[in-house]
Amino acid sequence: MRLATPARILTVGILALAPVTLGGAAHAHGDRDRAERLSQMYDAGLTVPFVASPNVRLAAARPGSAGVSGCFLHSAPYFVMSGLSDVTVYDVSNPVSPRKVGSMPSAQFENEAMNCGERNVSRTRTDRFAMIGVDLYQASPDDLEHVNTPATGDYELVIVDVSDPTSPHVRSRVAATTSTHTVTCIDGTDCRYAYSAGDDSEVPGQGSFSVFDLTDLDHPVEVDSDPATSGTQPFRSDAVGWGGHKWNVDEAGYATHTGAGGSYIYDVSDPLHPREVANTGAAGDSAREGSVNHYNDFIHHNSYRPNAKAFRADAPPSLANGNILLVTEEDYEDPDCSTAGSFQTWHVKRLDGSDGSIVPLAKVELADLGTHPIPVGTFCSSHWFDYHPSGIVAVGFYGGGTQLIDVTDPTAPVSHGYASWGASEVWDSMWAPVYNSKGIATAKRTNIVYSVDLVRGLDVYVVDVPGDGLGTVPSVAVGTSPAVASGVVVGGSAVVALLLHRRRRRA
Residue 282 · residue 41 · CB < 8 Å? no
DSSP 44: H
Q: Identify which of 343, 352, 349 has the alpha carbon closest to the alpha carbon of residue 324.
A: 349
| Whole-number pLDDT of residue 482 | 37
Task: Give 325: exposed, middle or buried? Use CB within 10 Å, 0-12, 13-18, 19+.
Answer: buried
**Res 194 pLDDT > 90:** yes
| Whole-number pLDDT of residue 148 | 54
Angstrom distance (rounded) from CA 322 to CA 313:
10
What is the rounded average pLDDT of the residues 188-192? 97
Angstrom distance (rounded) from CA 40 to CA 32:
12
Tell me the pLDDT band of 152, cut-offs 50, 70 and 90. Answer: low
| Whole-number pLDDT of residue 8 | 26
1 assigned to some structural domain: no
- Per the structure, how many domains does the chain have? 1
| Whole-number pLDDT of residue 24 | 30
Angstrom distance (rounded) from CA 116 to CA 71:
6
203 vs 425, higher pLDDT = 425
**SS3 (DSSP) at 63:** coil
Tell me the pLDDT band of 95, cut-offs 50, 70 and 90. Answer: very high
**Res 176 pLDDT > 90:** yes
**Res 139 pLDDT > 90:** no
**SS3 (DSSP) at 345:** strand
What is the rounded average pLDDT of the residues 123-128? 93
Angstrom distance (rounded) from CA 277 to CA 323:
13
Q: Cis before residue 36, ω within 30 degrees of 0? A: no
Angstrom distance (rounded) from CA 219 to CA 498:
33
Q: Identify which of 11, 46, 15 has the alpha carbon closest to the alpha carbon of residue 424.
A: 46
pLDDT tens profile 335-356 = 888 889 999 999 999 999 999 9
**Res 151 pLDDT > 60:** no
What are residue 463's DSSP bridge partners? Answer: 56
What is the rounded average pLDDT of the residues 66-95? 94
Helix (H) or strand (E) holding 410: none
**SS3 (DSSP) at 281:** helix
| Whole-number pLDDT of residue 371 | 86
| Whole-number pLDDT of residue 42 | 54
| Whole-number pLDDT of residue 217 | 97
Angstrom distance (rounded) from CA 109 to CA 85:
9
Torsion of CA 430, 118, 68, 170, to 10 degrees: 160
443 assigned to some structural domain: yes
The three state secondary structure string of 121-156 is EECCEEEEEEEEEEEEEEECHHHCCCCECCCCCCEE
Domain that holds residue 161: 8-500
138 vs 268, higher pLDDT = 268
3 assigned to some structural domain: no
- State the CB neighbour count (10 A cutoff) for residue 328: 27
Residue 414: CB partners within 8 Å, gap ≥ 6?
364, 405, 406
Angstrom distance (rounded) from CA 100 to CA 91:
6
506 assigned to some structural domain: no
**Res 376 pLDDT > 90:** no
Residue 122: CB partners within 8 Å, gap ≥ 6?
none
121 assigned to some structural domain: yes
Instruction: Write the CATH number for 469.
Output: 2.130.10.10
pLDDT tens profile 14-64 = 333 333 333 332 233 333 454 445 555 655 666 668 999 999 999 999 987
What is the rounded average pLDDT of the residues 83-97? 94
pLDDT above 90 covers what percent of the chain? 66
pTM for the structure as a whole: 0.87
